[in-house]
Structure 1
Amino acid sequence: MPIFQPPVEPLPAGIDLSGQTAIVTGASRGIGLEISKQLLDSGLSTLILAVRNTAGGETVKNQLLAAHPKAKIDVVRLDTGEYPAVQKFIDQIRTDYTEVNILMLNAGIGTLKKEVASTGHENNFQVNFFSNVLLTFGLFPLLESSADKSGRPSRITWTGSRTFLNSSLISGKMQLKPTESLFKYVDNSNLGPYDRYAYSKLAVVMFLDELAKRSPPNKVIVNAFCPGMIRTDMSDVLPFPLRILWKTQLAIRGRPVEVSGWVALNAAVVTGKETHGKFLGDKEILEPVAFLKSKEGLRIQKGVWDEAVAEIRGLISPPSWV
């Protein structure tokens, strides 16, 4: 790992999102807040702040309105830790909005101790992956119809992480049994915090590649990005010694939070169909590593898709192409 991260160029001038509606999950702080700011700076007409704490969301809304008084900004509750809350959010969006052009799936966690969500899944997987799959499938028809109205593809962009490259599967330190799925392995293993987080992000990469095989980018372009190490307050939840170590590393290697917005909006509004199903490291498409192209990697990837689809079918009716 290099000491310093490479520089990232600002967004090109002239981005015009007037007339468009965007949803940003995890929008009240950190990268999500920065994405929201930069969407509004680019002329976005309607911003939906999807947040777990609506009181905090209203505070953020007022701050954003002070800088963008002509924008329409709504706060809608979304708790990605449980399916009923995600289903309720999907229903509310479908009922209250006739058009959504951009869906930024940014909400995410990295827990220090292993936690199990109400769904039975390890919590990193629930928040970083499964709930985002549900949001993708649940809102896909609305984004498709919005593309028909606007005459341009709608966008779904996930906030990913290059930490998936350090998972023990990718590094070759671990192999799944022929009948073992990635989800069951993570749910049933006593993995450390870094591994659990890395695997949740690996599932994202695998899922999006499978999605792109089934859904062409004519109406909805779906991709993911990694903004690198960003100076946010996410480390505030860590125990004091770890927090000091992380903040020291951030001070040396971390990028300003505005860079995360540049990388996110590049993926969501600047790039085109060439990024469909792809993972962007900073602003460039990251080519699949050897394991992801191997027979075993593709087997596990197909399992990720099949199990995710089977689980979501019990909650909503996914798009016909699924």
Structure 2
Amino acid sequence: MARRRVVLVTGANSGIGLALCERILSEDNQIHLCMACRNMQKAEAAKSELLLTHPGADISLLKVDVGNVKSVIKAAEEIKQRYQHVDYLYLNAGIMPNPHFSLKAFLSNLLSRKVFVMFQTGQGLLTQEDWLTDDGLQQVFMTNVFGHFLLIRNLEPVLCQADCVSHVVWTSSSNAGKSAFSLTDYQHSQGQESYSSSKYATDLLSVGLNKHYNNKKPESLDPMKKYLSCTSGFGNNYVTLCKMDINVITAEIFYQELLKLQVQMEEKNKVGDYR
């Protein structure tokens, strides 16, 4: 009997993650689906919803908070105990800072040349507040970028084998930010720049992941392009390509900086060898 392929989706209990799980089961009901979620009550409800439309589907749940270093490491260890190989890993979980009306920014921009942009885009009307994790990292950066990086690094034994390399896919509903990159920005940035930097960081890491993992397969997608799922005005679904404004050298530098940060978090948390 052929081994069932294992598909793992983070942030699988709602939104894009849940829709992705539904689509995967519709395409192949013989796979084993692992829904990796932070809130297990919502995960149970999502699993029940999927089983209504796909009775008999092979679905399991995994508790993981990609915004917490120790939770990621613990979840990775559990995955390695459960499975000998993960065939598809969808990095979907993510958060946004809470937007707040800024009276100070509004009054400051009201008499400036930025007033038209402010009313057109909301920039200057709203600020987005990020916060620090217990490890001293910005929560958005930890959740959207570094948490998934740690997960992949700790899953290397089941993602990379001598005769097979798994598909690692980053899902996102946002376009790339174009802010300048430095690791310090992601650890200490505040307000609107925090989220745009995080979006840019996901693109940098996406390119880095493709170089270090997916490009080992001849059928890999173009690592320098986003594959956007769209719907026409007539309700027809299609995929379009969007070239990312990313320098491969910058992506590699970013990847190496994440490796250094990984070592720092290892020393701080004493959670074992990240490899």
TM-score range, shorter chain: 0.7 to 0.9
TM-score under structure 2 length normalisation:
0.73
CA pair 141-284 structure 1, distance change in 2 beyond 3 A: farther
CA pair 280-313 structure 1, distance change in 2 beyond 3 A: farther
Q: In 1, distance between residues paired with 2:216 and 2:190?
A: 42
Equivalent position to 2:136, from 98, 101, 120: 120
Q: In 1, distance between residues paired with 2:263 and 2:190?
A: 29
1:268-283 matches, within 5 Å, as 272-276=219-223, 278-282=225-229, 283=239
Q: Deviations over 1:134-164 (max 9, x none)?
A: 112222331223x83xx6x521111235432
- Give the deviation of 1:273 after TM superposition: 1.3
Assess if the C-alpha contact under 8 Å between 1:275 and 1:285 holds in 2: no
1:193-232 matches, within 5 Å, as 195-215=193-213, 217-218=215-216
- Give the deviation of 1:182 after TM superposition: 1.8
1:78-227 matches, within 5 Å, as 78-112=64-98, 113-145=129-161, 148=163, 153-165=165-177, 167-169=178-180, 182-192=182-192, 195-215=193-213, 217-218=215-216
Identity of aligned residues (%): 26
- Give the deviation of 1:277 after TM superposition: 6.0
- Give the deviation of 1:317 after TM superposition: 4.9
Q: Which residue of 1 aligns with 2:57?
A: 71
SS in 1 for 2:155: helix
CA pair 78-215 structure 1, distance change in 2 beyond 3 A: closer
Cα RMSD (Å): 2.6
In structure 1, stretches of 5+ residues that fail to align are 1-17, 170-180, 222-271
Alignment: residue pair count? 227
CA pair 204-85 structure 1, distance change in 2 beyond 3 A: same
CA pair 20-159 structure 1, distance change in 2 beyond 3 A: same
Q: Deviations over 1:74-115 (max 9, x none)?
A: 111011111000000000000011231111110000012221
CA pair 96-214 structure 1, distance change in 2 beyond 3 A: closer
Q: In 1, distance between residues paired with 2:166 and 2:182?
A: 30
CA pair 161-36 structure 1, distance change in 2 beyond 3 A: closer
In structure 2, stretches of 5+ residues that fail to align are 99-128, 230-238, 267-271
SS in 1 for 2:175: helix
Q: Which residue of 2 aligns with 1:309?
A: 259
Counting helix residues as a fraction of each chain, which structure ranks higher? Answer: 1
Assess if the C-alpha contact under 8 Å between 2:185 and 2:197 holds in 1: no
CA pair 275-317 structure 1, distance change in 2 beyond 3 A: farther
Assess if the C-alpha contact under 8 Å between 1:32 and 1:106 holds in 2: yes
Q: Deviations over 1:53-89 (max 9, x none)?
A: 1122112112212222222111110111110000000
Q: Larger Rg: 1 or 2? A: 2
TM-score under structure 1 length normalisation:
0.63
1:44-63 matches, within 5 Å, as 44=29, 45-63=31-49
**Which structure carries more relative contact order (alpha carbon 8 Å, separation 6+)?**
1
Assess if the C-alpha contact under 8 Å between 1:22 and 1:100 holds in 2: yes
- Give the deviation of 1:188 after TM superposition: 2.6
- Give the deviation of 1:215 after TM superposition: 4.2
- Give the deviation of 1:37 after TM superposition: 0.8
